[in-house]
Amino acid sequence: MSPSPVQISAHASHQTPAIETFAAAVATGADYVELDIRRTADGALVSFHDPRAATGEPLAEVSYQRLCDLAGYQVPLVADVLATIAGRAKGHLDLKDAGREHEVVRLALDVLGPGQFVVTTLEDRSVAAIRAAFPSAADVPVALSLGRNMAGAPRAAWLRTRLSELRPLPRLRACGADWVAAEHRLARAGVGRQCRRERIKIMVWTVNSEPEMRHWLADGRADVLITDRPADAIALRDQLAAGAPG
């Protein structure tokens, strides 16, 4: 039996994430639409890529209305993004803050439905919190993200983190993750092989060049490819499936 086609997650949140951006991502035919989830000082769950507002203040210290004023557009609320993609694409919920996991997952279950989204997070504790509250991996799949930005970190911390990412199985077992979301260089450096061997689903991010797309779209190498270029990735996937020359 041939492996299932690699699915495509549209990395929409890296752009100006007005609600129209997510509608456009759905229109590409992507299987998943990714939204970065953060919270504001007054508790609003928003889809916003950067950890800080234009003033440099952390988002957690800025009210929702002020964030919109500073951004110059109506920053989408997570509930509105989920409503936009519901029934048209699965959700790829990238948690940027720890502590509101239950609320986010409950909202996704209500709007999208069980099995219609995957949660990704860099934080082992967030994975563990979700798995404890929502035991069914079929209803609520959770991926531990690998590829933390360690710019400026002490060398010992950088080395410790990278080693734990290159050999992630102990972390996955400890926190209960059933998927991995690996930065593409880590995935190539052995993480992909480990996941395939252990039958752990793998999402690979962020893949934008055509040669890299071709590599991960090959049979069995990834389950989900995360890209800023979903339309191009889908066209290439279709071309490869048809056996057309590159």
| Residue 1 pLDDT level (bands cut at 50, 70, 90) | very low
Give the whole-angstrom CA distance, residue 95 versus residue 168. Answer: 19
Domains in the chain, ordered, with CATH? 7-36+89-241 (3.20.20.190)
Give the pLDDT score at 12: 76
| Residue 245 pLDDT level (bands cut at 50, 70, 90) | low
When the pLDDT of each residue in the chain is averaged and rounded to a whole number, the result is 94
Give the whole-angstrom CA distance, residue 195 versus residue 243. Answer: 27
- Model's pTM, two decimal places? 0.94
DSSP string, 37-84: EEE-TT--EEE-SSSB-TTS-BGGGS-HHHHHHHHTS-PPBHHHHHHH
Give the pLDDT score at 16: 65
Q: Which of 136-150, 195-209, 211-225 has the lowest mean pLDDT?
A: 211-225
Give the pLDDT score at 220: 76
Give the pLDDT score at 100: 92
Give the pLDDT score at 242: 85
